[in-house]
Copies of this chain bind each other. A is one copy, B any other.
């Protein structure tokens, strides 16, 4: 593999993983995205390659025009119109593309690429990602670290306004923004948080809490979207309805849920510290020791161990490693990130060995 844009990205950690964000001891990130389509063009699933290519060109021109005509930070974008399967997994692991978008690209690998029918534009700091011709012509997202829908929403709207000024979106006065899937019609706004809920898991309250969240029509999922396991105590919670609600209502709803979730998790952690201190210390010290000693670590085990150390840091059980370091390792340990980071294709065994070595090095060199 030659060094490329992916290797460059792999050397930095996404801005939203910095540890000083609001409530970042419980909420890893807040994500907002709009679904939009260009008026007069069929949705991607029904469009011809020529239509898709035209749509892509139109959006690209709009973004280029914006980049030349404004100094706004958010529009300094990297264009990616081609990637290998490994690089696609890398983007997926970094939450820069969706599983559906990855599938679209996989189906194109090895085929004629004279027409650029889809691609993404991302900001340097990975806060912004714009997918062109996924399920809709445009899906653009903003991810902020911690619990922070306010700055996220203003960034998202700024981007929306800029795009809206040069593109004509498909919009119905009755339904709002038109989208390929009915669940996105209306505002086209999907908001979600990634929460770290070890307290609720370890006190076994998690199912009750998730149940009450479902009853309020929110979706809960694992680290990588629908149908993925919840690993390392990480849960993704998102709104399921966009039609019939204003953007403000959607965001306020998610804020309320998140605030309650933070309170619940905090109470569980207090309970653990008060009533199960030794058990938690046992878990945390073991996890840290294994991360510092193992010679082979698969990504699931490493993620679970890091998640436990994360709990240990926020409960002030261990202080010789920072949350920032844990966040950094959590991205690097993933199979595709690891390979792109080392610019080297590795089989699972080689990855487990390299992962263990990398984690040991990072933890030992970053010990306070």
Contacts and interface: CB of A to CB of B under 8 A. Distances in A.
B294 A278 contact: no
A279 interface: yes
A346 to B, nearest CB: 14
A353 interface: yes
Contact of A278 (B278, B286, B293, B353): B353
A229 B294 CA distance: 28
A118 B134 CA distance: 84
A289 interface: yes
Contacts of A296: 278-279, 282
Interface string A271-291: 000000011011001101110
Nearest to A349: B278
A286 B296 CA distance: 10
Contact of A295 (B281, B293, B353): B281
Interface string A156-198: 0000000000000000000000000000000000000000000
Interface string A320-353: 0000000000000000000000000000000001
A116 interface: no
A282 B356 CA distance: 9
A279 B24 CA distance: 36
Q: How extensive is the interface on chain A, given as a class?
A: 10 to 19
A292 interface: yes
Given A278-B353, A282-B356, A292 B295 contact: no
Nearest to A296: B282
Contact of A289 (B279, B281, B290, B356): B290
A293 B292 CA distance: 11
A356 B288 CA distance: 16
A353 B281 CA distance: 11
B294 A292 contact: no
A279 B298 CA distance: 13
A361 to B, nearest CB: 15
Most chain B beta-carbon contacts within 10 A, residue among A281, A292, A293: A293
B290 A295 contact: no
A281 B352 CA distance: 13
B278 A285 contact: no
A285 B279 contact: no
Contacts of A288: 293
Contacts of A353: 278
Interface string A246-290: 000000000000000000000000000000001101100110111
Interface of A: 278-279, 281-282, 285-286, 288-290, 292-296, 353, 356
Given A281-B295, A289-B290, A289-B292, 9 more contacts: A278-B295, A278-B296, A279-B296, A282-B294, A282-B295, A285-B293, A286-B294, A289-B289, A290-B290
16 contacts: A278-B295, A279-B295, A279-B296, A281-B295, A282-B296, A282-B356, A285-B293, A285-B294, A286-B290, A286-B293, A286-B294, A288-B293, A289-B289, A289-B290, A289-B293, A290-B290
What 4 A-B pairs have minimum CB-CB distances, sorted nearest first? A289-B293, A289-B289, A282-B295, A285-B293
